[in-house]
Structure 1
């Protein structure tokens, strides 16, 4: 099957051709969606001895899972105060610990499966674009006190010694977080699932389902799967198969570009191997790839997919506005992907009816949260734990449809304006 023209496609050739589903097959659990959440769920179930089938409409990692920035760090798309308000203080702390566990799960999986093409590059630095070091120090103290999690505070001078921009002030560096090649990681998961006896069918969009009763049936154009459990993990590319799920989140597009090879020029601006993200809502994120030869830069969101080439122009303006010394750095490639956002900005993880599970809406913070989400769903199916119930306060609430998309876009523009005023005053 085809895969979007992204940097990740260019750096790995997939030789394992997976056929579409043909005829009737049976299994313990059928998973709809071959992205991070679906493959993690399948991996954990296969490790426990279950027979699993994964149905992927396109190819493994086709959606946002295989084209994102590659950042792996704790946390969610919304802040801890919002989580505590919805779930309670103690539950919020347990949920944050799960996000830390998700980071370690990804790291341990790469090591255990020897996925050399996704070798972790340690360090993610979060920078402020205004002068408020006190808030970062307070946050670092809170993480240390509550979770025993160490973050390194960087002064303005320390930040600007490695990020040659007067746009940046203070920062927190997370030495345990890392960045990696997400598509290589996904393909490593897929190979292990198949080694354990799991079956992955590409080009096999689910077109119908019968979900009542002990035995569930999911149909494609070429066949059907009978199973005791069904798991929906389709994210921003969810179709009309499950209306309740599709109505519960918004598909939001984000954009990424890749520079030409220019290591000497890039070093005049960025002298660190850390991945970088700024403090703005849907702000810039970037990292060096290919040993510092190229710069991968992402950001911007839209509620309707726009031309990646046009949005690359906006990303370039952000890059050059931050680093004027990179004005001659050419863009070689740009692409986009659809994320799924729930109204409450939290993942939706749980059992919507007996034997029917969902694990979706990771809101642009998916490499750690999909890992823990898939792990929790697998634990629930296997009867090993009910930790997935921690996400019960973040249910499948209606996201507002077209009106919700309009509100989301207006909210983003409002936040952009607030960011602009705050930075202008710095």
Structure 2
């Protein structure tokens, strides 16, 4: 196996430009801390509205989870609609789900309006069961149509196995409106659009301190500072102790992705659809064909600590082959990990910390739509055009439990794995 580390970025990055680090003092209307998709979306909307914006990124734009994810774009949150309704009531849960649908639409709008190159959209997503339960899928599809006018279809087992040649799969929900694309290229395109509107982006500019209690805020890096009326904190899974209350509200969770070598004939024996695919397990597998079917991008598995790339590639390859024995012998070209931010309640953390200080992070593995809507509602709050960010207030900055929270998160994941395995074994015996 070859090509670990940043090889994925070197091979697939459409824009390899280098941006300067912040040096000296600058002023702006808004300072955005974090060059991921949430911060970039907020910055773009603010720049479109005529506000001056500075984005400070500790590494490079899209360096974190925003550029390392599977690139699946569709509605929903890290927790299910029924659970959200239990927390906030059915009416607010419906509004929140509509926001997630809007978030996916924002991504489409940006791709279209910015005429993004190197970012082909492939429509269609299959959410696959690993046990027999068509009735629950029918109920879900009926609810989505009734409550949101959102069209989904149930695929029976024979239709699923015709395109996904694995005996582990049963029925699936087909979502024709969801799509997959290249998330890192998307982040880079947002950055270019911000700069075209006069926004400034500084890379390799880690924020080391801040004064947030005055009307004019100050955000400092090693070699410079930004003074601004509003500050947006959008650090994601890499949020550090800059604002301790925010750091104590998330659990950084590592997720893993691999990319196979070019093997179009072998891949065609297993995966016979260009659609995005995920299974129904908690932190289950998700994958898609890329490079016009020549490679397979495969993600899944979460832990509370990162793993050395060679070992994680071997783990992921075993999972891939256990699902598709036809892929035995297909080598892994590259593998990488990244940190996602999870809150204990599994909902995004979006809101106002104090006057002029805003936060948007904690997307729990569902960031392609929630970063977009999160960035937008924070921009609206700064502009005074809406207070939709308040819809997320019930999901507050709950303490993550410290080291006990990390241990509990890992134990919970292992428990869900065991429950998923038991369901699959029962399904296998019934078959």
Per the normalisation by structure 2, the TM-score is 0.97
* Preserved contact between residue 5 and residue 334 of structure 2 (Cα < 8 Å): no
- The structural deviation recorded for 1:14 is 3.2
Aligned to 2:298: 297
Q: Is the 8 A contact 1:35 1:62 kept in 2?
A: yes
Cα distance per residue 1:64-118 (max 9 Å; x no partner)? 1011100001000001111111111100000000000011110110011011212
SS in 2 for 1:175: strand
Q: Trace 1:180-199 onto structure 2 (pairs within 5 A).
A: 180-199=181-200
Cα deviation code 1:383-404 (max 9, x no counterpart): 0101110100101110111111
The answer to whether the Cα contact below 8 Å between 1:55 and 1:200 also exists between their aligned partners in 2 is: yes
For residue 139 of structure 1, what is the aligned residue in structure 2?
Answer: 140
SS of 1:189's equivalent in the other structure is helix
Q: Are residues 1:382 and 2:387 paired? A: no
In 1, are the aligned partners of 2:14 and 2:118 still within 8 Å (CA)? no
TM-score when normalising by structure 1:
0.98
The answer as to whether partners of 2:258 and 2:298 remain within 8 angstroms in 1 is yes
Contact 1:219 1:225 in 2 (8 A): yes
Aligned counterpart, 1:399: 400
Matches within 5 A, 1:243-392: 243-392=244-393
- Residue 106 of structure 2 is matched in structure 1 by 105
Contact map agreement 1:6 1:335 (CA 8 A) in 2: no
For 2:214, the equivalent position in structure 1 comes to 213
Report the counterpart of residue 416 of structure 2 in structure 1: 415
| Deviation readout 1:236-263 (Å, 9 max, x if unpaired) | 1111111000000000000001101010
**Contact 1:342/1:363, CA 8 A, preserved across alignment:** yes
Indicate the SS of the match to 1:277: strand
The farther-off stretch of 39-48 and 320-329 is 320-329
Q: C-alpha displacement at 1:12, in angstroms? A: 2.0
| Correspondence for 1:150 | 151
Q: Is the 1:8–1:181 Cα contact (8 Å) retained in structure 2?
A: no
1:174 is paired with a residue whose SS is strand
Which residue of the partner structure matches residue 122 of structure 1? 123
RMSD (Å), alpha carbons: 1.0
Where does residue 162 of structure 2 map in the other structure? 161
Q: Are the aligned partners of 1:6 and 1:67 in contact in 2 as well (CA < 8 Å)?
A: no
Per-residue CA deviation, residues 26-52 of structure 1 (Å, 9 max, x unaligned), is 000000000000000000000000000
* Correspondences of 1:42-53 after superposition (within 5 Å): 42-53=43-54
Query: How far apart, in 2, do the equivalents of 1:356 and 1:47 lie?
Result: 20
Gaps of 5+ in 1: none
| Equivalence for 1:39 | 40
Question: In 1, Cα distance between the equivalents of 2:157 and 2:426?
Answer: 16
- Number of residue pairs the alignment of both structures matches: 424
Alpha-carbon distance between aligned partners in 2 of 1:324 and 1:94, rounded to the nearest angstrom? 43
- Cα distance in 2 between the residues matched to 1:109 and 1:153: 30
Counterpart-to-counterpart distance in 2, 1:130 and 1:9: 39
TM superposition shift of 1:308: 2.4
Deviation per CA, 1:273-294: give whole Å up to 9, x if none. Answer: 0010000000000000000000
Uncovered stretches (5+) of structure 2, i.e. residues with no partner = none
